[in-house]
Structure 1
Amino acid sequence: MKLVLATSNKGKVREIKALCNEHEVIPYSELIDEFEIIEDGETFKENALIKARAVFEALNDDSVIVVADDSGISVDVLEGEPGIYSARYAGVDASDKDNLYKLIDSIKEKGLKSSPAYYTAAIAIVSNDFEYCVHGWMYGNAHTVVSGNGGFGYDPIFIPLGYDLTLGVLDDEIKKKLSHRSKALSLAKIILETL
Structure 2
Amino acid sequence: MKIILASSNRGKIKEIQELLQAEVVPYKDILGDITIIENGKSFQENAMIKAKAIFERVPQSIVLADDSGISVPALGGEPGIYSARYAGEGATDKENLQKLISKLQEKNIKKTPAFYTAAIAIASPKGIFTTHGWMWGEVIDEARGDRGFGYDPMFIPEGYEKTLGELDEEVKKRISHRAKALRLAKIVLERMV
With normalisation by structure 1, the TM-score equals 0.95
- Is 1:149 paired with 2:141? no
Instruction: Name the structure 2 match of 1:194.
Output: 191
Letter in 1 for 2:3: L
* Letter aligned with residue 75 of structure 2: L
CA contact (8 A) 1:73 1:118 kept: yes
Amino acid at match of 2:60: S
For structure 1, the residue ranges without an aligned partner over 5 or more in a row are none
Match of 1:64 among 61, 64, 75: 61
Q: Map Cα deviations across residues 149-191 of structure 1 (whole Å, 9 max, x no partner).
A: 1111111111101101111111111111110001001111011
Unaligned runs of 5+ in 2: none
Q: Does 1:6 align with 2:3?
A: no
- Structure 1 position 49, deviation (Å): 0.2
* Partner Cα separation in structure 1 for residue 118 and residue 79 of structure 2: 14
Provide the residue aligned with 2:114 in structure 1: 117
**Structure 1 stretches of at least 4 aligned residues deviating more than 6 Å after TM superposition:** none
Please report how far the alpha carbon of residue 144 of structure 1 lies from its aligned counterpart in structure 2 after TM superposition.
1.5
Q: Distance in 2 between matches of 1:63 and 1:23?
A: 17
Match of 2:125 among 125, 128, 132: 128
CA distance in 1, matches of 2:9, 2:40: 19
| Alignment of 1:27 onto 2:30 | no
**Matching of residue 94 in structure 1 with residue 91 in structure 2:** yes
Listed one character per residue, the Cα deviations across residues 35-94 of structure 1 (whole Å, up to 9, x for unaligned) are 221000101110000000111123x3x331000000000012101100000001000111
- TM-score, normalization by structure 2: 0.96
Contact 1:77 1:110 in 2 (8 A): no
Please report the RMSD computed on the Cα atoms of aligned residues, expressed in angstroms: 1.1
Identity %: 57
- 1:18 & 1:170 partners in 2: Cα distance? 19
Q: 2:26 is matched by which residue type in structure 1?
A: P
SS in 2 for 1:91: coil
Q: Match of 1:36?
A: 35
Alignment match, 1:168: 165
Contact 1:11 1:151 in 2 (8 A): no
- Separation in 2, partners of 1:19, 1:71: 17
> In the comparison of the two structures, how many residue pairs are matched?
192
Name the SS for the 1:31 alignment partner. helix
Partner amino acid, structure 1, of 2:5: L
Structure 1 counterpart SS, 2:78: coil
